[in-house]
Amino acid sequence: MEIDEIKKKKEFSRLPDSIVARAAEISKGDVKEARSLLRKYFGVFLTNKVLKGKGSFDDLLKAHMSSKKRDYDKFYREIFGDDKNVGSIVDLGAGMNGFSYGYLKDILGDVEYVAVEAAGQEVDHMNEHFFNNKFSGMAVVGDLFEIDEIKSLLETEKRPRVVFLFQVVDALENLERDFSKKFISEISKECEKIVLTLPTESLGGRKKFAVQRKWITDFLEENFSIEKDFKANGERVIIIRK
């Protein structure tokens, strides 16, 4: 079975079967191509340090390609400003963001935080971090393409709910065209605010590129109120509400 064969690779061994099956379908059952697809959107982030989960919280944030350049204190202060009325944060496609909870706590207090991440290794490391530091956080394995499950999870969290979608849109689009529009529309029904980011440079930081993304920015402007739109450390941050 292609799924079992694909998951023999360590970096894919803890991904949900639904995600691996989708990659296998796109690649028409070619195991090598499916692994290449998964490596592009998951494996590139799963360095040995991330998989092992060893080091300080800052070390691990810097080891993950999507979070390595963020100054989390400034990043979160720019996002929340004077608005401390946050009941819970649900971080979709979290990567290792759970290790930044201490920065959130400094700004928002003991806020409830849920990280939804596909890689089981990252989920385990974040949960260990929350437990060891007595943080009000938890991490769960999830597939963002299972929209009903994501909405059900959101429904259980304390209001006002804030959703993080950090550098997730491109990954969704590359697996299914226009899925991100549907996804944002659906989850917006269960939260008060969505914070999404788009990369403005390549993962390695060697190549900068304009992030016009008119297909997504036009959609957001037509369907939501744009609360903030700013750039910081290789990302464009857009905060929306209904």
Alpha-carbon span 165 to 44, nearest angstrom: 18
Q: Does 116 share its domain with 82?
A: yes
pLDDT tens-digit series, residues 201-214: 755 445 555 556 78
At 42 the pLDDT is: 67
Residue 177 shares a structural domain with residue 217: yes
Q: Residues 217-237: what's their mean pLDDT?
A: 93
Tally the C-alpha atoms within 13 A of residue 241's C-alpha that lie toward its C-beta.
Answer: 7
Do both 226 and 132 map to the same domain?
yes
94 within domain boundaries: yes
Q: Is the pLDDT of residue 90 over 90?
A: yes
Enter the pTM of the model. 0.87
For the chain, the domain total comes to 2
In a domain, 48, yes or no: no
In a domain, 123, yes or no: yes
- Residue 118: inside a domain: yes
Return the closest-CA partner of residue 111 out of 120, 102, 119. Answer: 102
| Enclosing domain of residue 204 | 56-241
Residue 129 sits in the same domain as residue 87: yes
Q: Are residues 223 and 190 in the same domain?
A: yes
Does residue 195 lie in a domain region? yes
* 231 and 190, same domain (yes or no): yes
Render pLDDT for 32-81 as a digit per residue (tens, 0 to 9). Answer: 998 888 877 765 455 555 445 455 545 555 554 455 678 889 999 999 99
The reported pLDDT for the residue numbered 65 is 47
At 93-102, the pLDDT tens digits run 998 889 899 9
Convert the pLDDT of each residue in 137-168 to its tens digit.
999 999 999 999 999 999 999 999 999 999 89
Those residues with Cβ within 8 angstroms of residue 100's Cβ, 6 or more apart along the chain or in another chain: 57, 61, 67, 70, 72, 76
The residue ranking higher by pLDDT, 49 or 17, is 17
Q: Are residues 24 and 62 in the same domain?
A: no
Beta-strand relationship, 193-199 and 225-232: unpaired
Q: Which CATH number goes with the domain that contains 222?
A: 3.40.50.150
- Is residue 78 in some structural domain? yes
- In this predicted structure, the answer to whether residue 189 has a pLDDT above a threshold of 90 is yes
Q: Of 239, 169, 237, 235, which is closest to residue 208 (Cα–Cα)?
A: 235
49 versus 121: which is more confidently predicted? 121
On whether both 216 and 194 belong to a single domain, the answer is: yes
82 and 9 within one domain: no
Mean pLDDT of the chain: 85
**Claim to verify: residue 15 and residue 61 sit in the same structural domain:** no
Confidence tier at 13 by pLDDT (50, 70, 90):
confident
Instruction: Say if residue 12 is in the same domain as residue 102.
Output: no
Give yes or no: residues 19 and 72 share one domain.
no
Is the residue at 35 inside a domain? yes
